[in-house]
Chain A
Amino acid sequence: MISRINVIVIGERGTLRNRLVEQLNAGNFQVDCLDETAAPELISDRVLRPGSPLRVVFTPLEGNEFRLLAGDLETQGGALLGHVASRTKIFLAQAQAALKLLMQAGGGQLWVCDYDDSFSYHLDTPACPILAQARASAVRSLAKEYSRMDIAINTLFAQPIADETARPMFRQAAASLKSYAMRYKPNSAEDIIEMLVPFIRKDRLAFSGAVVGAGMGINQGHLIA
């Protein structure tokens, strides 16, 4: 019998993170939450629970780079620059800390979750193409470097979720897309988390360095360059 799995969830509050934490708590995981600005030492200096398999999950970025860019073009401000600089650096530092902890634990899983922005023309939902692609490329390299240490590292790339805020946007988009609307079916946050949690529960994953897509009809080749 596997000991209670310890999951460290890192990221800003949002629908997907909230649902993940709820389901993990309900599923008898030991859950520790850190926000997106958490100092790396809060990760790397943690005392491991003996015998507990370790998972680290970065939850999706909840910002919108399209909006930041539009604002900067208008005002010549630096919002997008600041966002990219700070979030890239903190992610790398937190990922380093997570790897140190996973190596100490003798292996485990690291997940980086982000949203696809292919449908951003129609939905005003979180969309960070710069950071999402940066994090996905980090995962590819990390997997090549750390899979040999029994650390499985993967990206979960989800199309925007149809939560309370987005559901009306999806309906409006479907109405305007008409026949094209038949092509896709939006997921709820629960759908995405119910896909992810079984992977987290597994003792050993058969993949590392992968981009696992969650979405029907919208992810149009955006998962890989």
Chain B
Amino acid sequence: MSTSFLKGRVCLVTGGTRGIGRAIALHLAEQGAKVMVTYRGDEAAAEETRRLLATTGADAYVVQSDLTQPESVSRLIALLKETFGRLDSLINNAGRTFDGAFAALDRADYEPVVDTNLVGTLRLCLAAIPLLRESRGTIVNLSSLAAVSGKEGQVVYSTTKGGINGLTRLLARELGGYGIRVNSIAPGFIRTDMVTALPQSTYAHILDSTALRAMGEPEDVAKTAAFLASQQSTYVNGAVIRIDGGFHR
């Protein structure tokens, strides 16, 4: 694919100021897209992302939004419409986790994971549909290997990501008639702050369990997100694409 294969396309990336989300936002911008990026509360990460986006020369904005709040989502869509007048691709990357032995977890601690990852994503998808119908756009949902393979200590997170896969299936089927494509990406172990903090023994185990014997990079996910957001993937719909180096544990 040539650079600027996303030229002129308007993309909204949620949770796009750190890790995989930031990599997606930057890659989209480098490929010519106009980008709006959301964050929930980390102002320092937001500022750094603004700085990095500015180096791409892209028409890009970083805005605060809370997907768990209906008013915040409505304001976000209104701002997007006012700023760019359209939406071509929605990339639902925002997510959180609360890990631990499931039977011992407190509902008050893990229910925000449901509210953000699954309910928040669905809320934004529904709000964005009118704009996506106009553009015959795409939705790219960030799921996880945890949904596909399961992960001890991450029951709630994997539940929400499994729900994302089901949401992808539902929306792909129901919105296909409007020309809207909906797909999921299920990343495995990607080199982010969370993963690099793992103990060496765990790190070694992950590499041993991965056919490519390597950790993934955020850019690996970003490239697939850009492909799915673009017109390069016009017949890909309802898919869940694993980006995990061939993880086989």
Contact = CB atoms under 8 A, between A and B. Distances in A.
Contacts of A142: 102, 150, 155
Nearest to B129: A73
B151 interface: yes
Interface residues of A, number: 44
B236 interface: no
B147 A96 contact: no
Given A145-B101, A145-B155, A85 B146 contact: no
Interface stretch (B86-94, B106-114, B214-222): B106-114
A110 B141 CA distance: 30
Interface string B219-241: 00000000000000000000010
B150 A140 contact: yes
Contacts, number: 137
Interface string B122-166: 110010010000000000000100111111111110111111011
Contacts of B149: 140
B170 A145 contact: no
Interface in A129-185: 129-146
Main secondary structure, interface of B, reads: helix
Contact of A84 (B105, B156, B163, B165): B163
Band of interface residues on B: 35 or more
B240 A225 contact: yes
Contacts of B150: 137, 139-144, 209
Contacts of A144: 150-152
A139 B146 CA distance: 11
Nearest to B144: A137
A99 B160 CA distance: 19
A72 B107 CA distance: 28
B98 to A, nearest CB: 11
Nearest to B126: A72
A141 B155 contact: yes
B156 A134 contact: no
B119 A81 contact: yes
B129 A137 contact: no
A168 B126 CA distance: 34
Given A96-B102, A100-B103, A137-B146, A88 B152 contact: no
A197 interface: no
B13 interface: no
A192 to B, nearest CB: 21
A131 B166 contact: yes
A145 B102 contact: yes
Interface stretch (A14-22, A24-32, A62-70): A62-70
Nearest to A145: B152
Contacts of A131: 163, 166
A66 B170 contact: yes
Given A66-B170, A130-B170, A141 B163 contact: no
B115 interface: yes
B191 interface: no
From A99, A132, A141, A142, name the one whose CB has the most chain B CB atoms within 10 angstroms: A141
B152 A84 contact: no
A50 B156 CA distance: 32
A154 B161 CA distance: 18
A162 B108 CA distance: 41
Interface in B28-46: none
Interface string A78-116: 001100110011001101100110010000000000000
Contact of A133 (B111, B154, B162, B173): B162
B190 interface: no
Contacts of A85: 114-115, 118-119
Interface in A25-76: 65-66, 69-70, 72-73
Nearest to B107: A93
A2 interface: no
A160 to B, nearest CB: 16
Can you list the 10 inter-chain pairs with the closest CB atoms, starting with the nearest? A137-B162, A140-B150, A133-B166, A134-B163, A130-B166, A145-B152, A129-B166, A141-B150, A144-B152, A138-B159
Given A66-B173, A146-B103, 12 more contacts: A69-B174, A84-B118, A85-B119, A88-B114, A117-B169, A130-B122, A134-B118, A134-B162, A134-B163, A137-B158, A142-B155, A225-B240
